[in-house]
Amino acid sequence: MARVTRRKPAKRGAKRNNKRKQSKQGFPYIACFVALLLIAFISYFVFAVEKPATKIKPKKSTVKTEEALPEMPQPEWDYVDILKTKEVKVDIPIETKPSKPYQMQCGSFRHENDAESLKAKIAFQGLTSMVKKTGNWYRVILGPYERKRLAEKQRHKLQRAKINGCQIWFWR
């Protein structure tokens, strides 16, 4: 048979090392007193009997003689009549066209295959783009645009298709 070792029971009167100290707890007199005061305070306002209102004697009213109202004053301003005949001149600035057209660049890549794949994604959005080689870089460019607003409109269309990073500047 296997031998089982058991702990020896602690002796009575032996000191135990408890992490928590047990303190003497008496009856909570202060808490009961505060609770009773709170209950008495609330019940006073809930069940308080209203006192009957004292009757107020009406005051004797004095009869006032009506005075005649003065005549209604005539307006001193005649701007309403003047505004009907007034003519306002507005200077509308002449819209100036930019000296150069705008372009939008959506990417710049070292490899031509990367530029062509971005060009295909842009084509799926219904926009035409071109791949332009400058030095060792292949740039994907859209444009030219007469106004910057047209370029912004197409950039928002590309952003909805999760093609981000397009920049707009003057045509080179």
Secondary structure (DSSP) of 69-126: PPPPPPPS--HHHHHHH-----PPPPPPPPSS-EEEEEEEESSHHHHHHHHHHHHHTT
Task: Give the number of C-alpha atoms closer than 13 A to the C-alpha of residue 69, restricted to the C-beta side.
Answer: 3
Which one is predicted more confidently, 64 or 40? Answer: 40
List C-alpha distances in Å: 136 to 108, 116, 132, 143.
10, 15, 11, 22
- Take residue 85 and report the two structure tokens written for it: 């005949």
Model confidence pLDDT, tens digit, residues 93-129? 888 776 889 999 999 999 999 999 999 999 999 999 9
Whether the predicted pLDDT of 14 surpasses 60: no
Q: What percent of the chain has pLDDT over 70?
A: 81
Instruction: Tell me the CA end-to-end span of the chain in Å, nearest whole number.
Output: 97
Confirm if 10 and 16 have CB atoms less than 8 A apart: yes
Whether the predicted pLDDT of 50 surpasses 70: no
Dihedral through CA 106, CA 108, CA 113, CA 119, nearest 10? 20
pTM tops 0.85, yes or no:
no
Ramachandran assignment for 126, one of left (phi > 0), alpha (psi -120 to 50 degrees), beta (any other): left
Strand, helix or coil for residue 11: coil
